[in-house]
Every structure is written in C-alpha cells, then in structure tokens.
Amino acid sequence: MKTILVTGGCGYIGSHTLVDLIQNGFEVISVDNHSRSTGELLDGVEAITGVRVKNYKADLCNMEAVKAIFSENKIDGIIHFAAYKSVDESVKEPLIYFQNNLTSLVNLLECTKLFDVPYFVFSSSCSVYGDVEKMPVTEDTVLTEPKSPYGRTKKIGEEIISDFAKTSATKFILLRYFNPVGAHPSGVIGEIPYGAPSNLVPVIMQCAIGAIPVLNVYGHEYNTRDGSCIRDFIHVCDIATAHTLALKKMFDSSVTDNYTIYNLGTGNGVTVLEAISAFEKVTGVKVNYQLTAPREGDVVAIYANNDKAKKDLAWEPVYNINDMMRTAWKWQGVLKGLVK
C-alpha cells in the first residue's frame, strides 16, 4: 500500500481528496497546522471511510518540523494543497502570502530530494492565467500577469517546480483548478470558510441563511452574457478524483515527462448571476443580492479546456452546477452546527 502525504488535509479540497485516496486503496497522512482549518473535517473523513487519518499539526515553513515528518514515515508521494488562498486577503497582505505559500513549497521540494520521494502533485490555480482574451484556456495558453498576489504565488510556485524538475528525480503533476465548489454528497464534509467568506458559493450560502444581509455581485457591466464575471465552477469531488488519477498514472509508470500541467474545470463558463439562479432553482431559496463595482484582483472571465486531463488521466467531471449547489446547501445545514 502506497503512503501519500497530503498537506492541508484538514482543509476543503484536502479532506475530500483524503476520502478519494482511501477509497482507492492508498494509505494517507495529513499535515495541517490548523491556521486556516480545524480538525472537524477529519472526523467527517473517518465517518465516510472508517479510517482515522493521522494529522501532524506542523508548520510547513518550519523546515525541521517538515524533516521530522519525513523521517518518521516512508512517503511514496506528496499532494501539496496547504496554502493561503484568499484573493482579497492577498491584496491586503501580500507578504504573508509570499512567505507562507512559497516557503512551504520550497521546504517540501527539498524533502523530496532528501528523502527520495518519487511523485509530487501540486495544487495550482487558474489564477495563473490572469486576464486572457481567448476562451477556453488550454494548458498552452500564454500566462498574463496574475491579478492578485495569491495568483502570483501560484505562478511562481509553478516556475519553482519547473526549474527544480530539471535536476530532480521526482516526477511532478501540476493541477490548475478553476473554481472548486460543492461538498461531499453525504453532507458530512464540505468547505469551512476562514473568517468572512469571499468566494461566491460560501457567500451565497451565508446570505441564504441570513448570516449576511446581502450578497455583492462585483461588476455588472462586463462584456459577458449578463454583465457579471464568468467562472468555471467544478465540484470538489471531481477535483479530488483527479488527484487520485494523477497519482495512479505516475505509480503505473505511464508518465514519461517529469513536469506536466493539467486544467481541472468543467469546460463550461457560468456567470455569477447564473450561479445564483442555479442555487435558487435547486433549493427554492431566494438570495438577496446587489450589483456593485468590480473588485480588485478579479478577472473578468475564465473557463477551461479540459481535453488534456480527460485524455491523459481518463478524468471526467460528473457533477453539474445544480449538483454543486445542492451538495453545498446540504453541507450548509451541517456547517451551522459546527461553526458557532
């Protein structure tokens, strides 16, 4: 049984990926310092899988703490999620984003060399594309300037891995997520926002339960179908599955290049207003929203061409926008009991 170290395993995408890995026969270890998470999602992972995942409450920016984890365990592969991810916060506090997101990555890469870890999957983002003119974006689309320090950390992270891969024995797969939403169909795990939520779907949920009075739709005069931004919303379970498939591909020795990038999106652009409408349709709950000025750090429109992931990883998104909203709403009912 192969042992996979999942960084940020107590987080949103990390916890769903733990479930998918366990259900596909992998042994998993988590490292998460709970700076942007809590341990509740590991309880949910156990409820779904029957497996209690060990978590190291360690700071990945502390190299000695990271080395200790690798010394204690034989790690066959790494999935690196752990990072700060708020666009708004990164604009206000860019230095903490560069310090946390890049130092943690460099420390992990150093450990792949010190401890001969053969496989590494990196959590990247569609934010590396910036504002692009031609849609959908492919993995070969020329990257423009990121719109936020968060996006810049992901772009720099990809560049660090690209340079390191040229002299490393480790194989790397980089997965560029578009907009992860939804929750596990069981309703047992989902997204727990850190502080005030800034991503669209958690804000919709908070508005729907009356926790916030109004949802701001940032920008309503863009050159899009209805004037609002366009995003490619992808269910978190579809993203989790892609990580398992990426590891399986590497373990099956069918990866020849040691640095490969894949887009993870549905391939369909959905406007912010269309997403709100989908939520209202599947739940019967109206959302109080208002149209406001554009927000710094946001791109106007972006959605994926996912042909490469479909072909190489045999990956196929199975959840649509209605499923995403339905599962997120089911999780919201659970979340009310977790967050006081």
Cβ–Cβ < 8 Å for 245, 314: yes
200-208 vs 321-338: helix crossing angle, rounded to 10 = 60
| pLDDT value, residue 339 | 47
Average pLDDT on 223-252 reads 96
Task: List the one residue out of 4, 7, 10, 125 whose CA is nearest residue 76.
Answer: 4
- Distances in Å between the alpha carbon of 180 and those of 85, 110, 176, 271? 12, 29, 11, 15
DSSP for 40-84, written as a single string: HHHHHHHHHHS---EEE---TT-HHHHHHHHHHS--SEEEE----
Cβ–Cβ < 8 Å for 239, 313: no
Q: What is the pTM of this model?
A: 0.95
| pLDDT value, residue 61 | 98
Taking only the tens place, the pLDDT of each residue in 7-25 is 999 999 999 999 999 999 9
Task: List the one residue out of 171, 148, 157, 163 whose CA is nearest residue 91.
Answer: 148
Catalytic residues: 150
Taking only the tens place, the pLDDT of each residue in 22-75 is 999 999 999 999 999 989 999 999 999 999 999 999 999 999 999 999 999 999
Q: Is the pLDDT of residue 336 over 70?
A: no
Instruction: Read off the tokens for 316.
Output: 């196929």
Q: What is the DSSP letter of 304?
A: B
Q: Where are the alpha helices (DSSP H) in the chain?
A: 12-23, 40-49, 63-72, 87-92, 94-114, 149-165, 200-208, 236-251, 272-283, 307-313, 321-338
Total Cβ atoms within 10 A of residue 140: 8
Taking only the tens place, the pLDDT of each residue in 287-329 is 999 999 998 878 899 999 999 999 999 999 999 999 999 999 9
Long-range CB contacts (within 8 A, 24+) of 91-99: 91/148, 91/149, 91/296, 91/297, 94/149, 97/149, 97/150, 97/153, 98/149, 98/152, 98/153, 99/61
Cβ–Cβ < 8 Å for 271, 298: no
Taking only the tens place, the pLDDT of each residue in 186-214 is 999 999 887 777 789 999 999 999 999 99
Average pLDDT on 111-128 reads 97
Q: pLDDT band at residue 338, thresholds of 50, 70 and 90?
A: low
Taking only the tens place, the pLDDT of each residue in 133-184 is 899 999 999 999 999 999 999 999 999 999 999 999 999 999 999 999 999 9
Q: Which residue has the higher pLDDT, 338 or 54?
A: 54
**Domains of the chain by start residue, with CATH:** 3-182+234-265 (3.40.50.720)
CA distance linking residue 324 with residue 89, whole number of Å: 25
CA distance linking residue 118 with residue 125, whole number of Å: 23
Taking only the tens place, the pLDDT of each residue in 251-273 is 987 778 999 999 999 999 999 99
Task: List the one residue out of 208, 87, 197 whose CA is nearest residue 150.
Answer: 87
| pLDDT value, residue 195 | 76
Task: List the one residue out of 242, 236, 329, 328 whose CA is nearest residue 13.
Answer: 236
- Distances in Å between the alpha carbon of 52 and those of 13, 20, 49, 55? 17, 14, 8, 9
The tokens 């703490």 sit on which residue? 65
| pLDDT value, residue 297 | 78
Cα angle value 292/297/129 (rounded, 5°): 125
Instruction: Read off the tokens for 299.
Output: 């791109």
Q: Is the pLDDT of residue 185 over 90?
A: yes
CA distance linking residue 262 with residue 101, whole number of Å: 20
| pLDDT value, residue 72 | 98
Q: pLDDT band at residue 340, thresholds of 50, 70 and 90?
A: very low
